[in-house]
Structure 1
């Protein structure tokens, strides 16, 4: 096992090797959390011969410390809050609502940008492999899981290159399976596990998704 991934492409290729049991499976759908999860998921979907789409969720960053998540939102009014962060920093309801309103605009913009006029994703009775380039607090992936569960998939598999051991254990009770390549005891940021963690652009997301749109 590598200690650091060269980039998201390599992480996706290695992750796919741990998901071969799902190759060519009927009713399988790979969903990526944009933007960084898309290059990882592209490699998995290609290897498994599965369709690829995006599950758009937005992190609610603490004002002044946007990388620190106090929660996340997803389509359909889904909101998952990180009460530990909120209580520790004494963040009031008005601040949370203000950040959520801003992130809702970005969520809607990304949906238009990445999916255009494509119909809503139908996940009912499908096996979902939900992918990101890593998990930090778990708020974003938690919002995505909550969104998907509302739509009654057959099963949900979370697959990520890296996640804190505590979050990895917590997710076991939330989904049917979790595949994670690295589970450090302490984790400061996802980017330290990549040699190249440059930002994925909207154009790259559209290009990668375009390979799966016919």
Structure 2
């Protein structure tokens, strides 16, 4: 159990330091990952920036992720769920286009330049506050993998065992402090898991400026 996202970030930072990982850039997934990513970036003496993706909600149930799309259009689909719900190609294209634009707009709020920072030849770790389905993390990791980074890792305080295993196929290494067998939701492993606003998240970025 973590007290809050900052506590989770401090514990995650300690684990990454113990592994002696040489990291150039830490990328938090807005909004909830920024309080986690700030202590990680500080401990590793790495730059902190963001990588943005949006869930592709199912028809009539936007919280159910059919997949996710990153701000550069990188997309991941849950093919089994799409087939089970018999979702049309037209719906998928419509929601993908809409959410890719939403992701780009959100990325623009967080940084002055479009797209990711220059990651060519860099060692990069993507940080989130937890992994449930892994949809958003997958889309973000695919965007970073296309950036020319030398090494790409994912670090989370807690995650679904199945999702963490699947994410190992998308990245060089996954660091998850906890992968409980009875995982149901990220928030159940935090005493305080309140919403993080865009303004609060941006403040964490500015702390390193």
TM-score between the two structures when normalised by the length of structure 2: 0.92
SS at match of 1:84: helix
| Mapping 1:19-58, distance limit 5 Å | 19-21=16-18, 25=22, 28-58=24-54
1:144 positional shift? 1.1
Query: Gaps (5+ residues) in structure 1?
Result: none
Q: Give the distance between the partners of 1:67 and 1:156, measured in 2 at CA.
A: 28
Match of 1:104 in 2: 100
1:176 Cα deviation after fit: 1.5
SS of the residue aligned with 1:157?
A: strand
Q: CA separation in 2, counterparts of 1:166 and 1:93?
A: 27
State the alpha-carbon separation in 2 of the partners of residues 50 and 24 from structure 1. Answer: 11
Q: Structure 1 residues 78, 47: CA separation in 2 closer, same or farther (over 3 Å shift)?
A: same
- Residue of structure 2 aligned with 1:175, choices 159, 171, 175: 171
Q: Distance in 2 between matches of 1:154 and 1:19?
A: 18
CA spacing shift, 1:33–1:160, aligned 2, 3 Å: same
Q: 2:78 maps to which residue?
A: 82
Q: Deviations over 1:144-196 (max 9, x none)?
A: 11111111211111100111111222222332211101112243221112121
Paired residues of 2:73 and 2:100 also in contact (CA < 8 A): no
Partners of 1:30 and 1:51 within 8 A in 2: yes
Distance in structure 1 (CA, Å) of the matches to 2:90 and 2:208: 41
The corresponding residue for 1:195 is: 191
Q: Between Structure 1 and Structure 2, how many residues are aligned?
A: 209
Q: Secondary structure at the residue paired with 2:154? A: strand
Flag structure 2 segments of 5+ consecutive residues without an equivalent. Answer: none
Which digits, 9 at most, give the CA deviation of each residue in 1:6-26, with x for residues without a partner? 11111101101100057794x
Q: CA RMSD in A?
A: 1.9
Shift >3 Å, 4+ stretches? 21-25, 117-120
Q: TM-score scaled to structure 1, two decimals?
A: 0.90
